[in-house]
């Protein structure tokens, strides 16, 4: 029963997040756009599965690294998935477990053959950018696992506007996402976030980084 429920959610979600491009397969889950951000955000903490630490020999910030924990077309046989739903659940405390939506995306991607696919970028609209509607969702998706929790990595906390403002004002927010020295490259251990997301954050900064 539970498996059927999960499958329903899996295919429901994969339909919901499917590529908006009309010519694309409507149920395709894309590794780069949909799966990698979840793993980079929830598994690449310090001492965990990033390129430097490779806890347990596993690193989850590249396709080849992820594939080693996956049996394509069979999410229930894939360590990547089972480790997140069976004891001892990954990621371990104090980090948050993945929500059902993220689990469903991962399961759907595996069921679809665990392909190294990326979807065509959506049109990028950088007009009238606001913190709450545009910037916060990007920060949650790509940075929240490390910087919006009770134990923020590197003590860098984005939860309140005042906290975030520290990294706006010292230049490290834009420096880190654009991979500009001397700032640490973010997200830690992963490639840059999509160009459109960077452009949206930079547009918000350019307009005064308002609490809007």
- Which residues make up the interface to ligand HEC (CB under 6 A)? 40-41, 44-46, 142-143, 145-147, 153-154, 156, 167, 172-173, 176-177, 183-184, 186-188, 193
Helices (H), the chain: 2-16, 36-43, 63-67, 79-85, 100-111, 136-142, 144-147, 161-169, 172-177, 195-206
Record the tokens describing residue 72, joined without a space: 């394509």
CA dihedral 184, 190, 196, 198 (to 10 degrees): -10
What is the total residue count of the chain?
A: 212
Assess contact for 14 and 31: CB atoms under 8 A. no
CA separation for the pair 83, 81 (Å, rounded):
5
Site of tokens 């590529």:
19
Paired tokens of 40: 């980079």
Residue 180 CB, shortest distance to ligand HEC, in Å, is 10
Residue 40 or 112 having the CB closest to ligand HEC: 40
Based on CB atoms, which residue is closest to ligand HEC, 120 or 154?
154
Question: CB–CB of 124/196 below 8 Å?
Answer: yes
Backbone angles phi, psi at 56, to 5 degrees: 65, 20
Cβ distance to ligand HEC smaller for residue 18 or 176: 176
Nearer to ligand HEC, 103 or 188 (CB): 188
Kindly state the smallest distance separating residue 197's Cβ from ligand HEC, in Å. Answer: 8
Residue nearest to ligand HEC (CB): 154
Q: Closest separation between CB of residue 137 and ligand HEC, Å?
A: 12
Least separation in angstroms between CB 166 and ligand HEC: 9
Q: Of the two residues 8 and 124, which places its CB atom closer to ligand HEC in the complex? A: 124
CB of 156 to ligand HEC, least distance (A): 4
């Amino acid at each position: 029963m539970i498996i059927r429920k999960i499958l329903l959610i899996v295919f429901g979600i994969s339909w919901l997040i499917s590529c908006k491009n009309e010519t694309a397969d409507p149920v395709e889950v894309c590794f780069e756009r949909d799966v990698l951000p979840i793993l980079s955000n929830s598994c690449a903490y310090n001492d965990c599965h990033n390129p430097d630490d490779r806890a347990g020999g596993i690193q989850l910030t590249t396709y080849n690294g992820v594939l080693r924990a996956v049996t394509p077309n069979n999410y229930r046989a894939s360590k990547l998935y089972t480790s997140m739903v069976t004891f001892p659940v990954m990621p371990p405390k104090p980090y948050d477990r993945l929500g059902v939506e993220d689990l469903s995306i991962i399961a759907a991607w595996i069921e679809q053959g665990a392909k190294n696919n990326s979807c065509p970028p959506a049109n990028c609209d950088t007009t009238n950018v606001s913190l709450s509607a545009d910037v916060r969702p990007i920060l949650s998706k790509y940075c929240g696992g490390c910087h919006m929790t009770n134990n923020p990595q590197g003590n860098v906390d984005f939860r309140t506007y005042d906290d975030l403002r520290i990294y706006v004002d010292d230049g490290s927010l834009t420096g880190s996402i654009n991979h500009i020295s001397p700032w640490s490259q973010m997200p830690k251990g992963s490639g840059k976030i999509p160009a459109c997301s960077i452009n949206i954050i930079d547009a918000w900064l350019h307009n005064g980084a308002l609490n809007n």
